Amino acid sequence: MRVLVTGATGFVGQHVCQVLSTAGHSIMGTTRESDKLSRYPGSDMCTYRMGEPLPEAVAEFEPDALAHLAWEGIPDFGRERCLKNQSDQESFFGSILMMPTLRRVVVAGTCREYGDLIGRSPGTVEVSPGDEFGRAKDALHRMLRLACGESQVDLTWFRIFYVYGPGQRRESLIPSLLHQLGSGQVPRIKNPDDAHDFVYVGDVATAFRLAVESTGGPEVADLGSGDLHQVQEVLE
């Protein structure tokens, strides 16, 4: 299959591209940072920012499926940034869903759509976002559900929990702990009793591959380990 991957040079996007490519799919990735293009000499990659007109290269690629991971400004999850992301991505989907070859869309949502609820659900629990990021993702999902239905494009929406693994920002929890320990420091953690559902990035990437290749399945699925672990437990 020909798969377009947005956010292809991001933390999760890099792993999704690798897994899809290893499975024999033809990949085109987008990144908003042109300086990253040279790091992927063997890959089809183009510069693109959400909200802009689609690059000609994407139209020429004629994707069968889309793996959508782009979200600008992480870790800024403030109201202004989230609303801009939502608006820009709605514009993007308005364009990409008009492509006649596109048959399947797989999108990275977030566990924050559930608000204070922790742990996996069947994907049927009524969401109640508690922050701007969760609200923006939920609004995008609702729009996309209608748009994909009208375009007769299959949709899979993943609510992703606490991803960790190679390539993650050092400021994130587990890389931060590893860096401090490796430097001989006693790690400082603000909320040692907080519990999260940690999921390995390779498993997330595999889920994206399976969804891209699928011809059915639920519209919404949670991506997590299914187990909660306290931050202190992870540190130990």
pLDDT higher than 50, residue 229: yes
pLDDT over 70, % of the chain: 92
- CA contacts within 13 A on the Cβ side of 101: 13
Instruction: Give the pLDDT score at 41.
Output: 47
Structure pTM? 0.91
pLDDT in tens, 68-111: 999 999 889 999 999 999 999 999 999 999 999 999 999 999 99
Identify the sign of the CA torsion 1, 223, 79, 72.
negative
pLDDT over 90, % of the chain: 77
Helices 79-96 and 132-151, packing angle to 10 deg: 10
| Range 101-129 average pLDDT | 80
Give the helix ranges, DSSP H, for the chain. Answer: 11-22, 56-61, 79-96, 132-151, 173-182, 201-213, 231-235
